[in-house]
Amino acid sequence: MLELRIAILVLKDSSVLKECSHFNLEGLVYPLSVSQRLSTLLGCKVLRKSPTPRHPDELEPIENTSSPFVTRMASLPRGGYQVASKNFSQSDLDVDCSGRIYMITGANSGIGKCVAREIAQRGGTVHMLCRNPQSAETAKNEISEATNNQNVYVHILDMSQPRSVFKFAKEFQTQNEKLDVLYFLYANPSETHLGSHWKTTLSTPSRYLNSYLLVTDETEETGNFYHWYRSGPWFQVNNAGCMVNSREVDEDGLERNFATNTLGPHILTKLLIPALKKSDKPRILMVSSGGMLVQKLNAEDLQFEKMAPFDGTMAYSQNKRQQVIMMECLAREHPDIFLAAMHPGWADTPAVRSAMPDFYQRMKDRLRTAEQGADTAVWLAISDTALKHPSGLFFQDRSPVPTHLPLAWTKTTKDQDEQFITQLNELLNKFKE
């Protein structure tokens, strides 16, 4: 049985310490500002106190704890995949993808590249949507050569620019009679390709950096390990997509995280619905993150104008909640299309290496391979078994998992969800040519 014991000691400067108190949850120490009600979600006994920040070496031994949150965290490294994969049916992936058309964002690196390669290997036609022309062309050539499949195409597109998304979608539909699968997988954006249209209006470091995370993973396969991971919040380990720690807006007033992670996918999805409905098994899939578990949809501030100070980590996690709700709403609106979101686990990808070098150095021997992280993504894209599940669910290791922790305060009403979709549609119409 996989067990995980976690302790977090948040070290703050004196000014922040004066602003918030702390909860001690059987070894988990959080600033109250991170999640005031996290204690009820974890199922841990709450001890109210104001600890003096100490070096992790001075922490006392951690008591065993068991909760839904702990179970989810324990399943994310490679050991979790090794346990889950014992129940996988490999025949699920014995699929001929010939004649089927797949569109994949972020397909030039990491998990996205693995998904593109697996589909091309099975004869599928792959359209890679990427921002970086050089890395995209290199990835395309590598995939075509490895799979002996020449039906791999590159499209250069910045998802944060609605007008470019409109133009691409229109051109794609004139050149292709259908689309079978639309897949949103993001690579970590390069700062050298942001474009001059972005303007930083507020800059402040993440409030939740400088944290220490101790992970103890005990399984038959991996044995025991104890490592401290410094700089980075506990819930932001899979850094897929766009996450910046300053509020950046373009000439149209769109905030960059929101434009890239939420609005762009919404616009592209809505525009390609007609092409998807020409497929006999249409699918829309989204790679999300566990960061959504600590976020409730805030339909009153989609672009973080009221977030003071601005926090890129919180913005990213809010985007991930927005993506999941978007999938759920689209599933209700289009019952003839299969929609799903998924978590790939903690995988060894270029994005993780570049965005979180400290985490990578301490966890590199325990991270999933990019192929293991891509397994469920491929399964959702090609397997008929996946289609036996209801549309709109969230998956991890080929199984549906909850999108909220038990007793979570993160749940929203149907009216709140519809308010969110209405705002996205209003923005879509604003940029319609």
Helix (H, G, I), strand (E, B) or coil at 67: coil
Q: What is d(CA 315, CA 40) in angstroms, rounded to the nearest whole number?
A: 23
CA distances (Å), origin 385, targets 89, 95, 379, 388:
10, 11, 8, 5
Burial of 222 (0-12, 13-18, 19+ CB in 10 A): middle
- What's 343's DSSP letter? E
Q: Quick check: 85 and 369 in contact, CB under 8 A?
A: no
Q: Which two tokens stand for residue 178?
A: 């259908």
* Other Cβ atoms closer than 10 A to 299: 18
Beta bridge partners of 117: none
- Of the residues 186, 212, 229, 316, which is catalytic? 316
Question: Which residues lie closer than 8 Å to 61 by C-beta, 6 or more apart?
Answer: none
Q: What is d(CA 272, CA 278) in angstroms, rounded to the nearest whole number?
A: 10
316 catalytic, yes or no? yes
Strand 399-400 relative to strand 338-343: parallel, antiparallel, unpaired? Answer: unpaired
Q: Which two tokens stand for residue 99?
A: 């004649």
Q: Quick check: 7 and 30 in contact, CB under 8 A?
A: no
Q: What is d(CA 173, CA 29) in angstroms, rounded to the nearest whole number?
A: 52
Q: What is d(CA 114, CA 347) in angstroms, rounded to the nearest whole number?
A: 12
- What's 77's DSSP letter? S
Exposure b/e, 49-65, CB count within 10 A at least 16 = b: eeeeeeeeeeeeeeeeb
Q: Which of 416, 410, 413 is nearest to 37 (CA)?
A: 410
Q: What is d(CA 211, CA 364) in angstroms, rounded to the nearest whole number?
A: 19
Q: Active-site residues: which are they? A: 316
